[in-house]
Structure 1
Amino acid sequence: MKQLLLPALLLSTTLAAQAQRKPAPAKPATAPAPVAPAPVAPAPPTITAARAAGPGATVTIRGTVTNGPELGQLRFVQDKVAGLAVFSTTNSDLHTLVPGDSVQITGTLKNYNGLLEMDPVASVSKIASGRPVTVVEVPAAEMNTVFDDAYEGRLVRIKGVTSLATAAGTPAESLKGNTNYLLNGQKNNPVRIHVASTGEKGLVDKTPPTGTFDVVGSVSQFTQNGTGGYQILPRLSSDFVVAGGLPAIEGEPVPTNVYRNGFTVVFQTANPGTTKVEYGKTSALGTVVDLPAPTRLHTVEISNLEPNTSYYVRVSSTNAAGTSRSAAVPMLTDNKKKPVGR
Structure 2
Amino acid sequence: MKKIYFLLFTLLIASASFGQELLVNGTFEGWDDTTTPSGWSKAEDVEQESAEVHSGDYSAKHTGGTNDIAQTITGITPGTSYTVSIWYKIDAASGDDTDARIWSKWSMDGVVDHNTDADVLQGVGDSGYLDTNGNQWTQYTTTVTAPTTANEFYFEVRTYSGAVVYWDDFSFYEQAVATPSVNITPEDGTEFPSGTTTVDLEYTTFNIDLSTSGNQVNFTVNDDETIVDATSPYTIIVADGETYNVTADLLENNVIVDTKTISFSVSNPTTTTQVANITELRSGSIGDEFVYELTGEAIISYVVTSSTRNQKYIQDADAGILIDDADGIITTAFSNGDGMTGIFGTLADYNGLLQFIPTQNVASASSTGNTVTPIVVSAAELITNGEAYESRLITVNNVTFSATGIFEAVTNYDLTDGTDVTLARTAFSDEDLIGANIPTSISSVTGLGGDFNGTYQIFPRYASDIAEALSINEFNVNTFSLYPNPTNTGSVTISSTNSEAMSVQVFDILGKQVKNETLTNNTLNVANLKSGVYIVKITQNNATTTKKLVIK
TM-score (norm 1): 0.50
What does residue 217 of structure 1 align with? 447
What does residue 98 of structure 1 align with? 335
What does residue 392 of structure 2 align with? 154
Q: Is the 8 A contact 1:159 1:213 kept in 2?
A: yes
1:35-50 paired onto structure 2 within 5 Å: 44-50=275-281
Please identify runs of 4+ aligned residues in structure 1 that moved more than 6 A: none
Shift of 1:151: 1.7
Q: Mean Cα displacement is larger for which, 86-95 or 52-61?
A: 86-95
What does residue 424 of structure 2 align with? 191
Q: What is the identity, as a one-letter code, of the residue corresponding to 2:406?
A: S
Q: What is the identity, as a one-letter code, of the residue corresponding to 1:130?
A: G
Shift of 1:113: 1.2
1:146-185 paired onto structure 2 within 5 Å: 146=385, 148-161=386-399, 163-165=400-402, 171-184=403-416
| More RCO (CA 8 Å, sep 6+) | 1
Given the superposition, is the C-alpha separation of residues 144 and 127 from structure 1 closer, same or farther in structure 2, using an over 3 Å criterion?
A: same
Q: What is the identity, as a one-letter code, of the residue corresponding to 2:357?
A: D
Shift of 1:81: 0.8
Q: What is the identity, as a one-letter code, of the residue corresponding to 2:298?
A: G
Cα distance in 2, alignment partners of residues 239 and 94 from structure 1: 29
What does residue 133 of structure 1 align with? 372
Q: Is the 8 A contact 1:190 1:231 kept in 2?
A: yes
What does residue 241 of structure 1 align with? 467
1:329-340 paired onto structure 2 within 5 Å: none
What does residue 69 of structure 1 align with? 304
Cα distance in 2, alignment partners of residues 94 and 234 from structure 1: 26
Cα distance in 2, alignment partners of residues 173 and 95 from structure 1: 39
Q: What is the identity, as a one-letter code, of the residue corresponding to 1:133?
A: V
Q: What is the identity, as a one-letter code, of the residue corresponding to 1:58?
A: V
Shift of 1:121: 4.1
Q: Is the 8 A contact 1:175 1:207 kept in 2?
A: yes
- The alignment's C-alpha RMSD in Å is 2.7
1:102-117 paired onto structure 2 within 5 Å: 102-104=339-341, 105-117=343-355
Partner residue of 2:457 out of 227, 231, 255: 231
Q: What is the identity, as a one-letter code, of the residue corresponding to 1:210?
A: T
Q: Is 1:54 matched up with 2:285? A: yes
Q: Secondary structure at the match of 2:321?
A: strand
Q: Secondary structure at the match of 1:184?
A: strand
Given the superposition, is the C-alpha separation of residues 102 and 177 from structure 1 closer, same or farther in structure 2, using an over 3 Å criterion?
A: same
Cα distance in 2, alignment partners of residues 149 and 188 from structure 1: 17
Q: What is the identity, as a one-letter code, of the residue corresponding to 1:83?
A: G
Query: Quick check: which has more Rg, 1 or 2?
Result: 2
Q: What is the identity, as a one-letter code, of the residue corresponding to 1:84?
A: I
Partner residue of 2:434 out of 194, 201, 204: 204
Shift of 1:145: 4.2
What does residue 286 of structure 1 align with? none
Number of equivalent positions: 190
Shift of 1:213: 1.5
What does residue 305 of structure 1 align with? none
Shift of 1:91: 2.4
TM-score (norm 2): 0.32
Deviations 1:31-64 (A, max 9, x none): xxxxxxxxxxx98521111111131231122300
Cα distance in 2, alignment partners of residues 54 and 43 from structure 1: 13
Given the superposition, is the C-alpha separation of residues 78 and 106 from structure 1 closer, same or farther in structure 2, using an over 3 Å criterion?
A: same
Q: Secondary structure at the match of 1:174?
A: coil
Given the superposition, is the C-alpha separation of residues 222 and 141 from structure 1 closer, same or farther in structure 2, using an over 3 Å criterion?
A: closer
